Homo-oligomer: A and B are copies of this chain.
Amino acid sequence: MKVDGKHTRTIWVEADGWSVGIIDQTALPHRFTTVRLATLADVARAIATMQVRGAPLIGATAAYGVALALRADASDEALERACATLLATRPTAVNLKWALDETVAAVRNRPREERVAAAYRRAAEISDEDVAINQAIGRHGAKLIAAMAANKQPGAPMQVLTHCNAGWLATVDFGTALAPVYVAHDQGVALHVWVDETRPRNQGAALTAWELGQHGVPHTVIADNTGGHLMQHGMVDMVVVGADRVAANGDVCNKIGTYLKALAAKDNNVPFYVGLPSPTIDFSVSDGLTEVPIEQRGADEVATMTGRTADGRVETVRIVPEGSAVANYAFDVTPARLVTGLITERGIVAPRRAALAAAFVERVQGPSRSIAR
């Protein structure tokens, strides 16, 4: 997608041919800056501090992290250590595990001198595959939007609500949940996006609003508390969110608060869709609600807020009294019964065990590159 009119991915190999460039997403929307990652430690820190975030982008970044680690030491032991370090950065998104397994499979059984090149090759493929997958999600989802738009009053825009950021910033390019929005918008479908600010880290206000603005998509930022009221009053035609992990039974683990929006959608007969690439599906997790580990992050993310002062400085302010405890659960699980459909690269799939297994049969039956657990 475009930044100030120039096409940009969220991750790339720098001109030196080996170091890795990323957008520092913690500085958005106030400042667009890039960061150069040169070591495994750089990559682990970038993921843990959420300079890169979003399940698909975390996966691609981790793959490059393996390549950088092997560049320093191409031994089996170093490979193992790199995977363990990267896996520990974020426990919930399954794409991280998937990308590490993919990269390990690509270098395993190769002589050491070939490993670095093989790891870079697989990381680049993972990135390109992500883009292709997201374009397919965009095409399938845009058909859905166009069909719904056809039932609206002429001139009335499709009202889409989204939570957190599952746009191009969460992926290598193009986005998952927002890919259908971008494709429909580019096809000339009138639409408007309600953007949940998504406390505590405000990925909606900071990232989704910014990237929709860069692409010229009409949107309005709202407090996370607002979506239910909008749905009660017919102001939302569909909800579309991303996912950090989808279980074999169709349960959707996504940013904390997603479940509340799914409940409101159900209560008001608003379709609730999830845009996801198939690497986000974890067939080893039978039941999402009980089995997906939910990351708890630092209290400061809730107790403070960072933004820009009127005179242009970036400041962090504390909003919770000293002495009050704070809890910070990063994700929740939306039961499959609340999900209308999963928008995947292979089309719309029902959030049911059998439908998912049928759509991605090679994943269930044991692929050539199986996900080791």
Contacts and interface: CB of A to CB of B under 8 A. Distances in A.
B325 A316 contact: no
Contact of A321 (B213, B229, B325): B213
Contacts of A260: 225, 227-228, 260-261, 263-264
A223 interface: yes
Interface of A: 29-30, 194-195, 197-200, 202, 205-206, 209-210, 212-213, 218-230, 232, 255-257, 259-261, 263-264, 267, 289, 294, 302-310, 314-321, 323-329, 331-333
A199 B209 CA distance: 18
B302 A319 contact: no
Dominant secondary structure of chain A at its interface with chain B: mixed
20 contacts: A199-B199, A200-B223, A205-B321, A209-B320, A213-B324, A219-B324, A222-B327, A223-B257, A224-B225, A224-B257, A225-B332, A226-B257, A228-B332, A230-B329, A263-B263, A306-B319, A307-B317, A314-B317, A315-B315, A317-B317
Nearest to A325: B220
A229 B29 CA distance: 28
- Going nearest first, the 7 A-B pairs with the smallest beta carbon separation are A225-B257, A307-B317, A29-B321, A229-B332, A263-B263, A307-B319, A209-B324
A317 B305 contact: yes
A174 to B, nearest CB: 20
Contacts of A314: 317
